[in-house]
Amino acid sequence: MKINGEEHEFPDGINVLQACERIGIDIPHFCYHPALRVAGSCRMCKVEVIQGGRKRIDISCNVPVQDGLEIITDSPAVKTARKMTLEFELANHPLDCPVCDVAGECNLQNYYMEYGLHDSRMNESKHTKHKATGIGRSIVHDGERCVLCSRCVRFLSDVTKTRELGIFGMGSKEELTVYPGASLDNDYAGNVVDLCPVGALTDKDFRFKRRSWFLSHTSSICQLCSRGCNVRIDYDVNPYHEHKRNIQMRTHRTETTEYARIQRIKPRHNEQVNDYWMCDHGRYGYRPTDSADRLLHPLLREDGELKQVKTSVAIKQAATAILSAIGRNPDKAAIIVSPLLTNEELFTVHRLFREKLNLPNLDHKLPIDSDWYGDNILRTPDPFPNRTGCEWIGLHPLPKGAGIADLDDAIAGGKINTLLSILADPRDYLKEASLKKLKNRFYILRNLPDELKAYTDIALPAAAWGEYKGTFTNFSGRIQRLNQAFKPLGEARPVWSIMLDLSILMKKTLSLKNFDDVFRAQRNKVHLLSELEWDDIGDTGVMALEKHVEAVA
Amino acid sequence: MSDTITTSSLAGVAEKLKPRYETSKAAMMPLLYEVQARDGYISPEAETEIAELLGVSPTEVHESVSFYPLLFEKPVGKYHIQFCHNISCSLVGAEPLIELLRKELGVGPGEVTEDGLFSYQRAECLGCCADAPVMLVNEELFGKLTEEKIRNIIEQLRAGKKPKNDTPLTETDEIEDPVLSVNFMVPNGANIKVAEQRGAYTALRKALKEMEPQKIIEEVKSAGLRGMGGAGFPAGLKWSFVPKDPTLTKYLCVNCDESEPGTCKDREIMRRDPHRLIEGAIIACRAFGAEKAYVYIRREFYHEKKVFDKAIEEARKAGYIGDNILDSGFSIDFVTHPGAGAYICGEETGLINSIEGKKGWPRIKPPFPALQGIFDKPTVVNNVETLSNIPYIINNGIDAYRRRGTEKSPGTKLFGVSGQVKRPGIFELPMGFSLRELIYGICGGMREGHLLKAVIPGGCSVPVLTADEIDVALDFESLEEGGTSLGSGGIIVMDDSVSMPWALEILERFYAHESCGQCTPCREGVMWMYKILQRMNNGRGRKGDIELLIDIANNIEGQTVCPLGAAAAWPVQAMLKKFRGEFEELIQ
């Protein structure tokens, strides 16, 4: 078929709007969304359709591509139709952009600049509807800004099937809102904010935090279940954008977490993983990265007190402690890693402690919180993002070694006296008595809660989510990339980097110098093609080699 | 209100209603009326109750309840009055009467009198335009209202008596060899015995015994029968779009949501000759293979629905409806379904959604109903009058049908005349009849002392004609040449006392009220036009208003999901073109 005079070929089953997008022609639209059934109600995506010699203006979202069709997307008639539709959309719009969170990323604004640029001809009184109404845990509704595109309604009826929102009433006075007395609190509620093309549904968590144009974006992978939803980290490292009362007297960023860098998390489209969605648990689960309990500097217990020391001192001390514990008997130490580690981190832990030191007590099987549940949309029954990585790399106890389940007994019986816990709070899997009895308690942690300090001998700060790059292998064997958004706070470092230093001090050097070395060395372990480079993984990930994927399934 | 039912029996009613439809959700509307009869209105608790009974979410129930004007979200009076304030009624003095009603009752629209006896609402066209001015008191229609009559009715009701209803039967004329009005003048014409004596169901026998379905379609095609709901689409052609695959379930929807202001023809068939419609509908089902007919009847036709429901039962007993009718191997079922006061449900896909228990939002096309209609099955939606032509065509043949009318608009048609003529009424006339002859001959001309000013010839949506333009034949082609449309055949006649900006404001008030709210141009644009007109009529016209109105109308026309956007735009375009001077006078 022809688009603007040029011949193109498209596969059957897509519509003209999608076809235009494929060849780089943007068609403005409000109600159309690729993952939702077509509504055809906003009338913004009009194009000129020439079929069988007859010309008509039609909505491109509901015209299937077909042989011999001719489409014109930029004729004067199309421009007028779009301009007028926009004028209708804006007729009753409150134009409160200065106090609207969505300003800067609003379709109404963008399209106005592109297709409208008219002076308002609306001299009548505008409709008044509900403003700034909380309609759920995290969602705020503004009826006046709503363009009634029904995306949110279709999402809640077809995807979550919870139907909290409806368009009630009739005609120009109708209003989208929550069913009287109900609350929009399902696990996927936050998606309606992403779907809303204007500022009608905003997120309490993000409301008035940042103007959208101050945000930087980095693509990453959610770390809160084994699906590994593709996400985008929206962050701002400029302290001047902080609320006025917080930036007074501050001239440059300190290395403490006095303000949050991550402003919000948005899902990225990946048909193979999460489509366009993510769950609220993941969406609002970013806070630990900038929370006040971040461990920023190494701590070492000296004369009974935890003191801040240099990283080199802490690592040296840890190397000495572990070596002396396992000097005669490698059974004396246990290394516990969380399936929160990236493949690169897991790989270095495994290579040092299993391959080089042959420690038998190595495990990753942390207990799963009893509150956790999976569902049939995105959430999986496993709240850890990289269990597949742990299993493929081999972070298991040796046949005669102790796993997490055996630890309390082994410690009580004096068989184990040294613990290295990586990104896992030992209280999650050990009794208090065991923590007291251990001789060496060495942690690599992102966050060190005050309550844990009494049971800490050495603590090294680990880089948090967003602060470093790496890969996760999700439940289906897809290897996906986490990118670095900003620098680690304080002296925090990725676990792989700590492992490299530790290996040198333990005289078991891994002979790897940097991330690229680690990434290349681990490819085989995580079943990637051996010549696959970091860039090849791309933003949507790659599947591990097929035979291994079958094995995990 | 009517009989009370207990909660436990509501579940029983739901179980009885559900099997009539393909989905339980479709039983929502009749069930809502049960609740409204029980409670007087539909409370949030009742919405939840219905949601549970039907296995849908309360949101879906509330979407309907908040959408349809005749589902009440708060209590109404024991006597709830709907007073029509649309064009045909306004032309004959509805406004002073509504004012009188307000004073008599001492409450405004939407309020209930202290004693709980009365409430009233302003209604958009009750479909009885030839009897204007009209009001419904609960389910009873009172027409040809005067101040005295209204006072009497209120007085009687206050006294606990049943008020006398002296509404005369709508004027009509007998014609030779009528197609549609055969039984209009016959006492008890709605009774099956009377109808059968006058030839009802002979065409059905013939169609079942002597004709293959394809032959029926061919016959109707050759007769040139056009759709009488407004669009004039050839009926036989519409049927032929339905897939022939006999394994597919197919449905007929009968559109009796007659709500286009000025139109009141289908009502006469429904109440005076329902068997003609039933017979036509069965033959249509036979022709394209439908196994069930859903008859969508606007809620305001309480009386008509009662008559029609009774006729259905008679036909069922007589063996015309049911399994293996007349031993033909063909089975057919009928379900009547009430509307709820929304004009948009006259649009065929709005009607389909309404039957399915949804808001009457029209569907985008494709898919077309012929392939994916009600319950996603192939569906034909036909107007009452269209179907009522079929028995005559089958009985008398193509030539007899084509003997009258024009080549492209053959046969006869029912014309409803309302407004300021001496004798409003409903008249069967050959297609191509002269508009002038109808107004000055049959309808007796204009009221004493007044001259003709304007005529809207096909329901209020079609472009207006000036007094100089009425030498035109009443058929699809001639009126289209004349820059307007035959539409539904509802002819609204206005004399020289009428201000066109006033009339247009009434029309746009109607469209603004009835816009379903689905698509942007109609939802935003029509209310905008109404507000501008309102302001102009209030003496605050501004320079540029006329150009703006035309611009808005032009950009609604053809840009919407359904044709009703254009329906709101045409009157504006035509009025501003033909009576521009009157609008200019309103601009300082």
Task: Tell which phi-psi region holds residue B144, choosing left (phi > 0), alpha (psi between -120 and 50) or beta.
Answer: left
Which DSSP helix (H) or strand (E) runs through B463? none
Chain A residues touching residue B519 (CB < 8 angstroms)? 40-43
Segment B206-232 shows an average pLDDT of 96
Residues of A in contact with B527 (CB under 8 A): 171-172
B63 and A167: CB-CB below 8 Å? yes
**What was the pLDDT predicted at A118?**
85
Residue B502: CB atoms within 10 A of its CB come to: 12
Q: Is the pLDDT of residue A252 over 50?
A: no
A245 has pLDDT over 80:
no
| Gap from B519 CA to chain A (nearest CA, Å) | 4
Question: Mean pLDDT, to the nearest integer, of B316-338?
Answer: 97
Q: Which residue numbers of A have CB closer than 8 Å to B's CBs? A: 38-44, 46, 57, 59, 62, 64, 80-81, 84-85, 87-89, 91-92, 121-125, 147-148, 162-174, 179-182
Judge: A42–B532 Cβ closer than 8 Å, yes or no.
Answer: no
pLDDT digits (tens, 9 = 90+) for A447-498: 999 999 999 999 999 999 999 999 999 999 999 999 999 999 999 999 999 9
User: Chains A and B: how many Cβ contacts under 8 Å?
Assistant: 125
Closest Cα in chain A, distance from residue B537 (Å): 14
Indicate the residue of A81, A121, A169 with minimum beta-carbon distance to B548.
A121
Residue A285 pLDDT class (50, 70, 90 cuts): very high
B362 touches chain A (CB under 8 A): no
pLDDT per residue over A170-181, tens digit each? Answer: 999 999 999 999
- Out of A165-174, A421-430, B7-16, which region has the weakest mean confidence (pLDDT)? B7-16
**CA–CA dist A17, B203 (Å, integer):** 50
Q: How many CB atoms within 10 Å of residue B574?
A: 21
Cβ proximity of A272 and A540 under 8 Å: yes
Are B520 and A85 in contact (CB < 8 Å)? yes
Q: Which of A172, A186, A192 is the best residue to mutate to test the B interface, defined by the most B CB atoms within 10 Å of its own CB?
A: A172
The pLDDT-based confidence of B99 (bands split at 50, 70, 90) is very high
Q: In whole angstroms, give the CA distance from residue A41 to residue B523.
A: 10
**For A39, which residue in chain B has the nearest alpha carbon?**
B364
What is residue A548's predicted lDDT score, i.e. its pLDDT? 66
Using a CB-CB cut-off of 8 Å, the residues of chain A touching B520 are 41-44, 85, 88-89, 147-148
Is the pLDDT reported for residue B172 higher than 90? Answer: yes
Tell me whether strands A440-445 and B452-456 are parallel, antiparallel or unpaired.
Answer: unpaired
Chain B segment 12-71 residues within 8 A of A by beta carbon are 44, 57-60, 62-63, 66-69
Record: contact B58-A182, CB cut-off 8 A: yes
C-alpha to C-alpha distance for B130 and B443, rounded to whole angstroms: 11
Best of B62, B365, B511, B519 to disrupt the A interface (most A CBs within 10 Å) is B519
Tokens 């392939």 label which residue?
B371
Comparing alpha-carbon positions, the chain A residue that sits nearest to B547 is A121
Report residue B516: phi and psi, to 5°: -75, -20
Q: Which of B513, B535, B555 sits opposite A124 (nearest CB)?
A: B535
* β-pair partners for B251: B292, B379
Kindly determine whether residue A179 and residue B559, on different chains, have CB atoms separated by under 8 Å: no
Question: Other C-beta atoms within 10 Å of B372: how many?
Answer: 16
Strand ranges (E), B470-513: 473-474, 490-495
Q: What are phi and psi of B200, to 5 degrees?
A: -65, 145
ipTM of the complex: 0.94
Mean pLDDT for A325-336 is: 93
Query: CA nearest A521: which of A363, A351, A385?
Result: A351
Computed over every residue of chain B, the mean pLDDT equals 96
Cβ contact, residue pair B515, A38, below 8 Å = no
Residue of A65, A170, A173, A198 to mutate, interface with B, max B Cβ within 10 Å: A170
pLDDT level of residue A258 (50, 70, 90 thresholds)? low
Residue A435: the pLDDT is 97
Rounded average pLDDT over A152-164: 97
Q: CA of A147: which chain B residue's CA is closest?
A: B520
The CA radius of gyration of chain A, in Å to the nearest whole number, is: 28
For chain B, positions 219-248, list CB contacts with chain A under 8 A. none
- Dihedral sign (CA A422, A424, A425, A426): negative
Cα–chain center distance at B138: 19
Closest C-alpha among A221, A190, A198 to residue A150: A198
Give the number of other Cβ atoms within 10 Å of residue A373's Cβ: 12
How far is residue A395's CA from residue A346's CA, in Å, rounded to a whole number? Answer: 8
Residue A209: pLDDT above 60?
yes
Beta bridge partners of B254: B295, B382
Note whether B516 contacts A39, CB cutoff 8 Å: no
| 8 A C-beta contact, residue B27 and residue B15 | no
List, in order of start, the domains of chain B with CATH numbers: 7-67 (1.10.10.1590), 79-158 (3.40.30.10), 201-401 (3.40.50.11540), 412-495 (3.10.20.600), 500-584 (1.20.1440.230)
Q: CA-CA distance, B49 to B7, in Å (whole number)?
A: 9
Q: Are B476 and B231 contacting, i.e. CB atoms less than 8 angstroms apart?
A: no
Minimal Cβ distance to B517: which of A80, A89, A171: A171
Per mean pLDDT, which range of A231-240, A447-456, B26-35, B461-470 is the poorest? A231-240
The predicted pLDDT at position A248 comes to 42
Nearest to A170 among B62, B516, B558 (CB): B516
- Give pLDDT tens digits for B262-282: 999 999 999 999 999 999 999
| Pair of tokens at residue A391 | 């299993």
Inter-chain touch A171–B548, beta carbons under 8 Å: no
Optimal mutation site among A66, A85, A88, interface B, most CBs of chain B within 10 A: A88
The reported pLDDT for the residue numbered A260 is 82
Assign 3-class secondary structure to B108-170: CCCCECCCCCEEEEEECCCCCHHHCCCEEECCEEECCCCHHHHHHHHHHHHCCCCCCCCCCCC
Residues in chain A with CB shorter than 8 Å from the CB of B531 are 124-125
Residue B40 backbone dihedrals phi, psi, to 5 degrees? 90, -20
Distance from CA of A275 to the nearest CA of B (A): 26
**Closest-CA distance of chain A to residue B541, Å:** 11
CA proximity to A86, closest of B298, B491, B521: B521
Residue B67 is nearest to which of A42, A57, A170, comparing CB atoms? A170
pLDDT at A530: 86
Strand partners, B428: B414
* Total residue length of chain A: 553
- Digit-coded pLDDT (tens) for A364-402: 999 999 999 999 999 999 999 999 999 999 999 999 999
The fraction of chain B above a pLDDT of 90, given in percent, is: 98
Contact status, residue A200 vs residue A154, Cβ threshold 8 Å: no
Q: pLDDT at position B98, please?
A: 97
Q: Which residues of A touch B521 (CB under 8 A)?
A: 43, 84-85, 88
User: From CA B40, how far away is CA B222, in angstroms rounded?
Assistant: 51
Contact A123 B542 (CB under 8 A): yes
What does the pLDDT read at residue A257? Answer: 47
Please tell me the predicted confidence (pLDDT) of residue A251: 39
Mean pLDDT of the A95-117 span: 94
8 Å CB contact of B520 and A62: no
pLDDT band at B203 (very low <50, low <70, confident <90, very high): very high
Residue A186: is its pLDDT beyond 90? yes
pLDDT at B546 exceeding the cut of 80: yes
Q: Which of A40, A62, A163 sits opposite B59 (nearest CB)?
A: A163
Report the pLDDT value the prediction gives residue A551, as an integer from 0 to 100.
56
Residues of chain B found within 8 Å of residue A180, distances taken between Cβ atoms: 44, 62
Q: From the list B62, B523, B531, which residue is nearest A166 (CB)?
A: B62
Contacts of B59 in chain A (CB under 8 A): 163-166, 179, 182
Digit-coded pLDDT (tens) for B406-432 = 999 999 999 999 999 999 999 999 999
Encoded tokens for B222: 């050759």
- The DSSP-derived string for A100-168 is -TTTTS-HHHHHIIIII-PPP---SPPP----SEE-SSSEEE-TTT-----HHHHHHHHTS----EEEE
Q: Which residues of A touch B523 (CB under 8 A)?
A: 88, 148, 171-172, 174
Interval B284-300 mean pLDDT: 98
Residue type, B14: A
Contacts of A355 (CB under 8 A, 6+ apart): none
Question: Is B490's pLDDT higher than 70?
Answer: yes
- Give Cβ neighbours of residue B431 (< 8 Å, ≥ 6 apart): B404, B405, B406, B409, B410, B411, B412, B413, B474, B475, B476
Q: What is the pLDDT of residue A254?
A: 44
pLDDT of residue A428 exceeding 90: yes
What lies within 8 Å, CB to CB, of B455 at 6+ separation is: B435, B439, B464, B465, B467, B469, B470, B491, B492, B493, B494
Asked if B516 lies within 8 A of A171 by C-beta distance, the reply is yes
* Of the partner residues A124, A169, A180, the one whose CB lies closest to the CB of residue B67: A169
For residue A255, what pLDDT band results from cuts at 50, 70 and 90?
very low
**Cβ contact B555–A165 (<8 Å):** no
For tokens 């029209």, the residue is B362
Residue of A51, A175, A179, A192 for testing the chain B interface, max B β-carbons within 10 Å: A179
